[in-house]
């Protein structure tokens, strides 16, 4: 149950905030999908070899988060079973109906691309796993295709690059569409901006890169694996470049509102300097944008002078700050746009619940589910490299090849 307190003059038909925690979480999850996929594509399509250690993991992370991208929306709906109606009886002029087809297409592309990347490893594990119960699992994952000749690998590689190339605009469309939904609502001056799709997309890439960087460093540190310094630096550099463009556009959009000073600016100014001051100026701008800009900029500019331990620590801290920045941006856009009255004379206060389907606990559970999928995936297939990175005790030992006895060939010829 949400509690609303009005301040000033609020129209009678605007006494409630309908899009709450789940609608904030939805673009946050899809943003991580888009950003993680971009990291994978930078290696597979654009041959950025520094990102090779995380390319597979980024692809798996994108797939895991994509599986649960619609869960916040379904949890928000009163009758989630009706969601499929939008697919069976689509309206071609509806952006919301278009999301179902964009989501399905992108999910298919990503699943096929992961299968092509891992197919050789799946066949190898099918042939050498120590656990007989897993052989049918690996056979099903390989779809019964056990050909791993060099020609088959070349075909897999070519098809995978084509799919990754198609997946880049698909990923951009998947998340840019969320900003398009808000930007197309003309009645809301806080949302109605042609920059909204671009801002959502760029902040999505920032959050995805930050999540990949944070998970890579933390997981390798916990598992006592070697952390690739070039890879961490490439992740920090990528996040820094996208952060610059993202923040520049966000500030441009805010300055544009202030400079135009339309009749709605009076109430918007009170909103951003009052109710959204902490979430916007403290979390989103100061801690989530200014601090990472200077700290990561120092790593990018003085690459050779930064010790490995300091670079990794900066990667973890800035990754957390960037994730908080994007979460605050989603909150400010979704909730801020609903807090001021259409009369432009009053506000609504929203109190976040802890329990319930729109509460913080439900949001935290949904946000943790992709990591459960990643963990299960890591038990079946390697996340960070080929089968050589799998634990040796999980594989059968390959018997040595016996050399023929001297002189034996002339008796068998």
CA 130 from chain centre, in angstroms, equals: 34
- 6 in a domain, yes or no? no
175 with 49, same domain: the answer is yes
Weakest mean pLDDT among 207-216, 350-359, 387-396: 387-396
Q: Write the DSSP string, 92-142.
A: TT-HHHHHHHHHHHHHHHHHHHHHHHHHHHHHHHHHHBS-GGGHHHHHHHT
The model's pLDDT over 257-284, given as tens digits with 9 standing for 90+, comes to: 888 877 778 878 888 888 888 988 999 9
Looking at per-residue confidence, does 341 or 4 come out higher?
341
- 410 in a domain, yes or no? no
Average pLDDT over residues 330-340: 86
68 with 26, same domain: the answer is yes
163 with 268, same domain: the answer is no
267 with 244, same domain: the answer is yes
- Distance, CA of 381 to CA of 383 (rounded, Å): 6
48 with 180, same domain: the answer is yes
pLDDT confidence of residue 54: 93
- 217 in a domain, yes or no? no
- 221 in a domain, yes or no? no
- 262 in a domain, yes or no? yes
| Domain stops at, among 350, 381, 404 | 350
pLDDT confidence of residue 85: 80
Tokens linked to 35: 């950003």
pLDDT confidence of residue 20: 84
Q: What percent of the chain has pLDDT over 70?
A: 89
233 with 177, same domain: the answer is no
Tally of domains in the chain: 2
175 with 100, same domain: the answer is yes
- Distance, CA of 176 to CA of 65 (rounded, Å): 17
- Please check the confidence at residue 406 and state whether its pLDDT lies above 50: no
Average pLDDT over residues 29-56: 89
360-365 LR contacts (CB < 8 Å, sep 24+): 360/21, 362/21, 362/22, 362/75, 363/21, 363/22, 363/25, 363/72
390 with 334, same domain: the answer is no
Q: What is the pTM of this model?
A: 0.87
- Distance, CA of 121 to CA of 147 (rounded, Å): 12
240 with 316, same domain: the answer is yes
242 with 157, same domain: the answer is no
Name, of 24-28, 176-180, 388-392, 408-412, the range with top average pLDDT.
Answer: 24-28
3-state secondary structure of 5: strand
Q: By residue range, what is the domain housing residue 40?
A: 21-184+353-395
Which contiguous run of DSSP H or E holds residue 335? helix 308-339
């Amino acid at each position: 149950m949400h509690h609303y307190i009005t301040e000033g003059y609020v129209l009678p038909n605007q006494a409630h905030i309908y899009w709450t925690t789940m609608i904030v979480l939805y673009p946050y999850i899809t943003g991580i999908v888009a950003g993680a996929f971009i990291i994978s594509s930078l290696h597979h399509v654009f041959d950025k070899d520094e990102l090779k250690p995380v390319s597979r993991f980024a692809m798996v992370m994108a797939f895991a988060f994509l599986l649960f991208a619609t869960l916040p929306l379904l949890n928000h709906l009163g009758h989630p079973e009706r969601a499929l109606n939008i697919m069976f009886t689509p309206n071609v002029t509806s952006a919301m109906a278009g999301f179902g087809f964009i989501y399905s297409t992108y999910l298919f592309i990503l699943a096929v691309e992961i299968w092509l990347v891992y197919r050789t490893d799946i066949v190898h594990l099918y042939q050498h796993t120590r656990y007989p119960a897993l052989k049918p699992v690996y056979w099903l994952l390989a779809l019964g295709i056990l050909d791993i000749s060099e020609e088959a690998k070349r075909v897999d590689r070519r098809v995978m690059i084509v799919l990754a190339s198609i997946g880049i605009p698909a990923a951009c469309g998947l998340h840019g569409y969320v900003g398009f939904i808000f930007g197309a609502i003309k009645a809301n001056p806080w949302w109605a901006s042609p920059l909204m799709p671009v801002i959502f997309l760029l902040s999505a890439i920032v959050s995805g890169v930050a999540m990949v960087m944070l998970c890579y460093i933390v997981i390798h540190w916990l598992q006592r694996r070697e952390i690739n310094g070039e890879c961490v630096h490439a992740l920090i550099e990528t996040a820094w470049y996208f952060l610059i463009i993202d923040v520049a556009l966000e500030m441009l959009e805010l300055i544009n509102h202030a400079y135009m000073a339309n009749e709605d600016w009076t109430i918007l100014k009170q909103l951003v300097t009052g109710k959204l001051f902490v979430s916007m100026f403290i979390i989103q701008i100061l801690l989530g944008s200014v601090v990472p800009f200077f700290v990561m900029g120092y790593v990018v500019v003085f690459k050779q002078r930064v010790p490995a331990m300091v670079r990794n620590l900066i990667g973890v801290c800035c990754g957390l700050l960037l994730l908080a920045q994007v979460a605050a941006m989603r909150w400010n856009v979704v909730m801020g746009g609903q807090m001021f009255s259409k009369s432009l004379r009053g506000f609504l206060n929203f109190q976040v619940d802890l329990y319930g389907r729109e509460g913080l606990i439900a949001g935290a559970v949904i946000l943790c589910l992709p990591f459960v999928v990643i963990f299960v995936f890591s038990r079946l297939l390697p996340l960070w490299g080929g089968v050589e990175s799998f634990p040796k005790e999980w594989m059968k030992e390959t018997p040595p090849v016996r050399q023929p006895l001297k002189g034996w060939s002339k008796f068998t010829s």
